[in-house]
Structure formats: structure tokens, C-alpha cells
Copies of this chain bind each other. A is one copy, B any other.
Amino acid sequence: MNNFMYANPTEIIFGQGMIEKLKDVVPKAARVLMIYGGGSILRNGVYDQVKAALSEHTVIEFAGIEPNPHYETCLQAVTCIREQKIDFLLAVGGGSVLDATKFIAAAASYTGDDPWQILLDGGSSITQALPFGAVMTLPATGSEMNDGGVITRAATQEKLSFTSPHTFPAFSVLDPLTTYTLPTRQLANGLVDAFIHVMEQYLTDQHQALVQDYMAEAVVKVLIETSEAIIHQAPEYNSRANFMWAATWALNGWIGVGVPNDWATHAIGHELTALYGLDHAQTLAIVLPGVMVMEKAHKARKIMQLGRNVFGIDAIDDDALITQTIAAVEAWFHSVGMKTRLSDYQLDATAIDAICARFAERGWQLGEHRSIDAKRVREILTLRL
């Protein structure tokens, strides 16, 4: 196990009816900016629940955060914060709203010249941020209990991430009932996104960190066992609760401490979203099987461990176990209705050229061995045509 230092201070407020706790956990004297997206919270009753809980607070609203939230929109929210003398932010929605709120919290307190710098340096220039909490309605990103976010600059189609100890939510409310109205596509995206968050922290070298390994396996077992109910059956409380809580644990940091992390699948996927508008999880489901095949020289032992401990595969030899495990992962993506090929989205070698050009331009060398450069990305994506 590697050395590490980590704290995760976010308070989790979990369960049915818990949105009402906002009245206690949002500071009474705060001027609150309630940040949300395109209006789904207006239709599913969450907006009304939040407003009722905060009926004795001062609440100003900022709507219109996009999926893959835009830098430009975040800057509008920063302007609003300054004009309205806001001192607490409340994100209400999914991972995009929460990611945007984290960036807004940091940008509103930023002392440098240009907040784009926050994204260029991955968050290391953040020295303070407005306090914020969240009502998370979409199990997927884990943003409700971590310090990271991903922001897209619409003008240049750049999608960049940041983390900072200053951008943990003070609290996150997770009410599984808020997921009942989610469309199947978003549920499938959430399952796949959470699954691949675990893979980015688990599917690396053998590193003898048993707690992290077995906790990672615990999280993906829950995702796999609940997925049939989540995608194909009417909403049921425990399934939704288990899915929601597993998605939080997939990326709250604790399974990734003391072990190598990969994140190449995410980096390649971000480019597919930025250039071609695919949903984040759709890109991950295309890329991961290619990463598993091309990087199996050093991921072999963990791929086999995944096959044995999570998928229950008992193969005749190591090669068969690896092949069957990669197939099982892709089959699970298909079982939740997720496509796994570039051609499923009418993308061809032209898309590969475009993405590899970006990798080459930035000189990126990704993965836990820094072995995934533009040439390797071409090999990975060529497998996924």
C-alpha cells in the first residue's frame, strides 16, 4: 500500500424525506444561491421540497446549468453572487449542477486574474471557496461526496477537471425517492459512470491494498446486483437506495487512497464528449473495454481478480479468465442498454484522428504507468470502432 493523506468531511444526509433537513443544515443567516439545471427538479417535486425546507431562509435562484456544465454559465453565476452578496451555495440536481457549483464556489473566491487558471492547473490555485451543500438527485458522479468537478469551455470545446480540499460539499442530501422519475437513459448512465469510477481506481497494478480492493469490489457488486431492478423494473426503494449509496462510494476517494489510479478512460471519454456530444457514460462504456485489452500487460492480475471476485468467473487459464472478464464487463454494459462501439454512434476513424490529434498536441501520457499516449489511444479506439 502507498502512503497517503486524506480527509473527507462531507456530511451525508441519506434517506426518504430528508430534504427537509435543509432547514437545519443551511446556515440560518446565509444569503443562499440555489443552483440548478434545466428544470427537471421543477417537474419531480424536488424544487418544491427544497423551497419548503428553506422557507425561512433568504434564497436567490440561478437556473440553467447544462449537462457538461459550461465555464461561461458558471461565470454568470459568479457575477450573480457578487451582485446579490451571496455567502452560501446550494446545488440541487445531478453531478453537472454539483460540479458547476464547486467551480462557482471557487471562482467566486478566486483572487487570481482569470478563473480559467483553476482548470488549467487542476485546482491547485484554489485557496478558498464559498461554502456549499447539495441535494443530489442523480446517482452517478459521486460529486456529492468528493472535491472534484469537470467543466467544459463551450467556446473551445475543452473539458477539464479540478480538485481541491476547499471544494468538498459541507453536506449532501441523498433521497432515493428523487431518482424515481429519472429516465432510463440517465439511470444507465449513472450505473456505468459509477462502475467505471471504481475501475479507474481498482483496475491497475496488483498493489496488495486489500481493504481498498475489497471495498471497490463491494461497490461494483452492488451496482451489478441492482442494475436489473434499476433499469428493467418499477422504482423500488431499497434498489434505488443501494444504487445511490454505491454511486457515492464509487468516487468519494476512500477506495482510491494508497493505490495507483488510472483515469485514462475518463480522459479519452472527455474528448469524445467535447467533440461529439456523447453522454459521459456512453463514452466510458466505449473506451474501457479497449483500455482493458490494450493495457492488460500490467492490469492482468486485477482483471482476473475482477472476474473471479465480482463476476464469479471460473476459467480454464489466465488468458481465458481475462478474455471472459472483459466480455462480462461489456455484456453488463449491454444489459443496462449501453452501447459500446464508436459505430453505434455513427463515429468512424475520423473521430479517432481528431482525438489523437488532441492527445498529441497536449503531449498527454496517461494511465498509472503513463503508457497511454496518442499512439496508444489510437490503438484503443481502433478496437472500439
Which residues of chain A have a CB within 8 Å of any CB of chain B? 1-18, 21, 171, 208-211, 214-215, 217-219, 221-222, 225-226, 238, 241-242, 245-246, 249, 257-258
- Cβ-closest chain B residue relative to A215: B218
CB pair A242–B211 under 8 Å, yes or no, is yes
CB pair B3–A17 under 8 Å, yes or no, is yes
- Cβ-closest chain B residue relative to A176: B1
Bound Cα distance A313, B2 (Å): 33
A258 in complex: contacting residue of B15, B221, B222, B225, CB < 8 Å: B15
- Closest Cβ of chain B to A3, distance in Å, is 3
Q: Given that A18-B3, A21-B5 are known contacts, is A242 also in contact with B210, CB under 8 Å in the complex? A: yes
Centre residue among A1, A6, A242, A246 by max chain B CB count within 10 A: A1
Bound Cα distance A9, B12 (Å): 12
Residues of B within 8 A of A18 (CB): 3, 5
Q: Given that A217-B218, A218-B217, A219-B211 are known contacts, is A7 also in contact with B9, CB under 8 Å in the complex? A: yes
CB pair A14–B21 under 8 Å, yes or no, is no
Centre residue among A3, A11, A209 by max chain B CB count within 10 A: A3
A226 in complex: contacting residue of B21, B210, B249, CB < 8 Å: B210
A15 in complex: contacting residue of B1, B11, B17, B245, CB < 8 Å: B1
Besides the known contacts A7-B11, A209-B241, A209-B245, 5 further A-B residue pairs in the complex with CB atoms under 8 A apart: A1-B241, A5-B14, A8-B8, A215-B215, A215-B249
CB pair A5–B12 under 8 Å, yes or no, is yes
CB pair A4–B14 under 8 Å, yes or no, is yes
- Cβ-closest chain B residue relative to A6: B12
CB pair A7–B12 under 8 Å, yes or no, is yes
Bound Cα distance A241, B171 (Å): 31
Bound Cα distance A222, B214 (Å): 8
- Cβ-closest chain B residue relative to A145: B7
- Closest Cβ of chain B to A244, distance in Å, is 9
Bound Cα distance A52, B245 (Å): 42
- Closest Cβ of chain B to A225, distance in Å, is 7
CB pair B226–A14 under 8 Å, yes or no, is no
A/B interface sample: 7 pairs, CB < 8 A: A5-B14, A7-B11, A12-B257, A209-B245, A210-B221, A211-B218, A215-B218
